[in-house]
A = this chain, B = another copy of it.
Amino acid sequence: MLSIHAASVQEVPLLLEMIVEFATFEKLREEVTITEAMLARDGFGVQPQFRGLIAEWNHAAAGYAMCFPAYSSFQGPVLHLEDVYVRAQFRDKGIGKALIGEVAAIALREGCDALRWDVLAWNQPAIDVYKRLGAIFLEDRKAVRINGEALRKLAEPSRT
């Protein structure tokens, strides 16, 4: 039996455990620097920066989703789905779709007419699911990131 609820601050250790599992699945384990303290501070304060959802299957933690408000300069408020993850032993039960469905309901409640997210190009099972849901793939976009020293250098007033 599936149930989905908003993550509580008491579930931060579980959330981090599943984030690390997800990063390992994505072959990005070495990128995880977030801590329980950061998740507690950023997700469960007066102005949370994200919302976490936990899926349970027969009362066992089966997966999670994380989302936050984003903004499209072309369309206005959108919801960004940062992660959706289902643990290996709980796959093929519709849990991922149910998590995205809850996030979609949050989007509509918040006045967003779109949900957006990224998928790894090699994750064909996820791509197939998203296609069946009617998702549009923005094939001509590349994701870009700048951080650490390059970010600090860019922010220097003498950069121009």
Question: Interface residues, chain A, CB within 8 Å of chain B?
Answer: 2, 19, 22-23, 28, 31-34, 38, 42, 47, 49-50, 66, 68-77, 80, 82-83, 94, 97-98, 100-101, 104-105, 107-108, 113-122, 127, 130, 133-157, 159-160
Contact = CB atoms under 8 A, between A and B. Distances in A.
B83 A154 contact: no
A31 B150 contact: no
A66 to B, nearest CB: 5
A155 B32 contact: no
A128 B81 CA distance: 29
Given A98-B160, A138-B142, A34 B115 contact: no
Number of copies: 2
Contacts of A32: 74-75
B115 A145 contact: yes
- Which 9 pairs across A and B sit closest by C-beta, in order of nearness? A134-B150, A114-B147, A104-B155, A138-B143, A105-B155, A104-B154, A50-B71, A135-B146, A118-B141
Contact of A108 (B127, B135, B152): B152
Given A134-B153, A154-B100, A154-B104, A146 B114 contact: yes
Given A98-B160, A143-B116, A159-B97, A73 B82 contact: yes
A138 B142 CA distance: 7
A120 B52 CA distance: 30
Given A94-B160, A159-B101, A133 B150 contact: yes
